[in-house]
Chain A
Amino acid sequence: RKEVEQDPGPFNVPEGATVAFNCTYSNSASQSFFWYRQDCRKEPKLLMSVYSSGNEDGRFTAQLNRASQYISLLIRDSKLSDSATYLCVVNSDTDKLIFGTGTRLQVFP
């Protein structure tokens, strides 16, 4: 079983749509959780950290359920510029980042 699992997509959505990505992780000792965004042929960049209480940054909302070992990202009012791969990332108890395979999002006009 992979340490971090994501649906690879692709998710093809129209502008203005709401889209949700899910992720599960296997190590219950994991302490920190993130969503990174990666554009085609570019490096990953931090989109947002994920906290147990849930957190929001503009159109983006992240949720963490430690009991189910489940992380989610919700994007509201999708823009063309949101098209990218979204990587679910878990910081293990040995302080290394474990990445999921990524979920590809394509927003069309």
Chain B
Amino acid sequence: ETGVTQSPTHLIKTRGQQVTLRCSSQSGHNTVSWYQQALGQGPQFIFQYYREEENGRGNFPPRFSGLQFPNYSSELNVNALELDDSALYLCASSLPGAMNTEAFFGQGTRLTVV
């Protein structure tokens, strides 16, 4: 157990709908990163939050947005869902700025868009 928890574990949504995924980071970790992992692919970086501010973003459109709260938990919001958004969404928490630090992943939320 890493101490990083995500909810829900599974979700089915219809194309065009909006979804919010949640993540609680490991105790003491104030940096949270979100990744999208499509079937057969490695995780792709969406964005990172540090002290409630976005701290880097990958190649994802603006309909992917996020928040980080004072307790360092985080949300990923996706608007106008598309079929290609079906994937495993992973949250990882880590210590900030330490390039060699380990990232601890939650078990992920498996999103299916129909």
Does B42 belong to the interface (CB within 8 Å)? yes
Q: Which of A40-48, A66-74, A76-84 is the contact stretch? A: A40-48
Minimum distance in angstroms from B105 CB to a CB of chain A = 4
Which chain A residues border B56 with CB–CB below 8 Å?
A: 94-96
User: Is A43's CB under 8 angstroms from B108's CB?
Assistant: yes
The main secondary structure of chain A at its interface with chain B is strand
Q: Which of A11-19, A53-61, A98-106 is the contact stretch? A: A98-106
Which chain A residues border B99 with CB–CB below 8 Å?
A: 31-32, 91, 95
Does B81 belong to the interface (CB within 8 Å)? no
Does A62 belong to the interface (CB within 8 Å)? no
Contacts A97-B45, A101-B42; is A46 near B100 (CB within 8 Å)? no
Minimum distance in angstroms from A86 CB to a CB of chain B = 11
User: Is B42's CB under 8 angstroms from A102's CB?
Assistant: yes
User: Is B92's CB under 8 angstroms from A97's CB?
Assistant: yes
User: Is A99's CB under 8 angstroms from B40's CB?
Assistant: no
User: Is B58's CB under 8 angstroms from A96's CB?
Assistant: yes
Size band of the interface chain A makes with B:
20 to 34
How many angstroms from the CA of A91 to the CA of B98 in the assembled complex? 10
Q: Which of A8, A43, A44, A98 has the most CB of B within 10 A?
A: A43
Does B84 belong to the interface (CB within 8 Å)? no
Does A64 belong to the interface (CB within 8 Å)? no
Q: Which of A31, A34, A91, A97 has the most CB of B within 10 A?
A: A97
Contacts A94-B56, A95-B56, A96-B58; is A43 near B100 (CB within 8 Å)? no
Q: Which of B42, B100, B108 has the most CB of A within 10 A?
A: B42
User: Is B33's CB under 8 angstroms from A44's CB?
Assistant: no
Contact with A along B85-114 (1 / 0, CB 8 A): 000001010001101101101111000000
14 pairs of residues in contact across A and B, judged by CB atoms under 8 Å: A32-B99, A42-B107, A43-B106, A43-B108, A45-B2, A49-B102, A95-B48, A95-B99, A96-B58, A97-B35, A97-B92, A99-B35, A101-B40, A101-B41
Residues of A within 8 A of B (CB): 4, 8, 31-32, 34, 42-46, 49, 87, 91, 94-102
